Structure 1
Amino acid sequence: MGADWKYEPAHDHGLTWRERFRSIRREAGLFSSATSFAWRGLTRLYLRGVHRLGVDGAEHLPAAPPFVLAANHGSHLDTLVLSSALPRAMSWNAFPLAAGDTFFETPAVSAFASMFINALPVWRRSCGAHSLDELRRRLAEDHCIFILFPEGTRTRTGQIARFKPGIGRLVGGHAVPVVPCHLTGAWEALPPGRSLPRPRKISLRIGRPLDFSHLSKSRDDCRTIAADTEAAVRALATDSSP
């Protein structure tokens, strides 16, 4: 006798199209998977051709999800760079966490962010513990890859700002590694306020994964996780070998 099958409805079952685009429970359909796959292929070609993208330290990526990519944030190009660094076999379950008030306010932009970039919304003004806990559950249970920028917004100066403790609520006490990443050149290519990118070279450096399973979701531990992740990202900016 074979094992009993258990059927469960999709997490986003019953939602309208607009609600599905804006939901952190969204699951990929056939069409959105195809468009996201094609978009990532075009993105790789663009980044390599126009920005001469270089990736150092790819061997530090975990062999399988779940894990988190955490990087400094200076440009809308950052998400594209980090997504393109993942092996194709992993990219289908990689979700950039994007500002809801920027990428999910209108139906057209929501559709683009969800179907092409595969982004999940984080509402910066109202992202409470419940939303973070739901993201935390999805990260671990669905074996996802989250791409996030713990500064919370793009730098206006090109310098790394202090990392916020929200990342600690996602990974504290979980056996989910955080992979520190450092981007150079993206801010120079497309800083805040600029509409079209300049053809500047972009480099991505990937560091060794960080383990925070021994810490909790307490306020102090979340601050420790944020500070340790920030320190690892800053070290990649100066260390010659990630």
Structure 2
Amino acid sequence: MSLYRSRHVAARFIPVLFRSFVRIYVRPRVEGIEHIPREGAFIIAANHTSHADTAVIYTVLPREVRSRFVAAAAQDYFFKGGAMQFLSRILFNAIPVARDRRGGQDPLRHAARALREGYALLLFPEGTRSTTGEIGPFRSGIGRLIAEFPGTPVIPTYVGGTLRVMPKGKIIPRPYRVTVRFGEPLYLKAHPKLRATWQTAADEVREAIVQLSGMALAHSVDASSEQAD
């Protein structure tokens, strides 16, 4: 289980300080944590509006899951060297995912290997951050992983409020309370050689997250009504 875990000495203490900062700064409200598997490989599939999404999801996970957590990150953005790459590796055990097939290599090779090794893999199937908060179309890559690793649970995850914390184009986060809602595990099927089934599976994951976003909104409205009363 050490394949993708950062071995840098800073990884022993920086993540602890970082999680404390996140908890204080955005006060994450968590629902459905009981749906997170405590062992074995699984995929956390989440909507994506901000670089803060990864930080918030990582922070609220149980300790035994954080110890085998990896976050898929855009290779062209996070893996160009420098502070961005260093911090993403130290904090989240980030692994590169290419957003295209330039170079002829499989863009999901590290994600597939992480699942094979028993990691909890965070994916943002939209492939880019939403600037409006709306959940965009999902790419078929998650469907391919579902086809390649049958029986692997997919945890649909809705993150709300991070667009206010750190919208696309901003680098300084603002304090704002966020919500993370984990849905029940999905056990979907797709055929390894039929790409259309990959997209179908991806669309099913997206629909589950859309449903979670609506439930989160309904809870917010209910809470506001209670305060008004």
> What is the CA distance between 1:172 and its match in structure 2?
1.7
Q: Which runs of 5+ in 2 are unaligned?
A: 220-229
Separation in structure 2 between the aligned mates of residue 132 and residue 77 of structure 1, nearest angstrom: 23
Which letter maps to 1:238? G
Q: Which amino acid aligns with 2:212?
A: L
Q: Report deviation, 1:143.
A: 0.4
Counterpart among 199, 202, 207 of residue 175 in structure 2: 199
2:15 aligned to which of 36, 40, 47: 40
How far apart are residue 134 of structure 1 and its match? 5.2
Change (3 A) 1:194 1:138: closer
Q: CA contact under 8 A between 1:150 and 1:167: conserved in structure 2?
A: yes
Runs of 5+ unmatched residues, structure 1:
1-9, 12-25
The structure whose residues are more often helix, as a share, is 2
- Other structure's SS at 2:87 match: helix
- What is the identity, as a one-letter code, of the residue corresponding to 1:157? T
Report the Cα distance in structure 2 between the residues aligned to 1:162 and 1:40, rounded to whole angstroms: 32
Give yes or no for the alignment of 1:120 onto 2:95.
Answer: yes
Instruction: Check whether the contact 1:136–1:171 (CA below 8 A) recurs between aligned residues.
Output: no
In structure 1, what is the equivalent of residue 131 of structure 2? 156
Deviation at 1:123, TM superposition (A): 1.4
Out of 204, 208, 211, the position equivalent to 2:187 is 211
Q: 4+ residue stretches of structure 1 with deviation over 6 A? A: none
In structure 2, C-alpha distance between the alignment counterparts of 1:100 and 1:172, rounded to whole Å:
23
- Considering only aligned residues, what root-mean-square deviation do their CA atoms show, in Å? 2.4
- What does residue range 177-192 of structure 1 map to in structure 2 within 5 Å? 177-192=153-168
* Counterpart for residue 30 of structure 2: 55
Cα distance change, pair 70–27 in 1 and its aligned pair in 2 (3 A): closer
The corresponding residue for 2:5 is: 28
Asked whether 1:227 is paired with 2:203, we answer yes
Cα deviation code 1:69-90 (max 9, x no counterpart): 0110000010011111221122
User: Alpha-carbon deviations, 1:30-79, whole Å to 9, x = none?
Assistant: x43x5335333223212221111111110111121200001100000100
Counting aligned pairs with the same residue, the percent is: 33
2:169 paired with 1:169: no
Number of residue pairs the alignment of both structures matches: 215
CA separation in 2, counterparts of 1:111 and 1:189? 22
TM-score in terms of structure 1 length: 0.81
Structure 1 counterpart SS, 2:58: helix
Q: Structure 2 CA distance, aligned partners of 1:37 and 1:203?
A: 27
TM-score computed with the length of structure 2 as normaliser:
0.85
Q: The residue matched to 2:49 in structure 1 has which SS?
A: coil
Cα 1:123–1:59 change in 2 (3 A) is same
How do 1:83-94 residues align onto structure 2 when only pairs under 5 Å count?
83-94=58-69
Change (3 A) 1:195 1:72: same
For the 8 Å contact 1:40–1:83, the answer to whether it is kept is no
Residues 61 and 157 (structure 1), Cα distance of their counterparts in 2 relative to 1, 3 Å cut: same
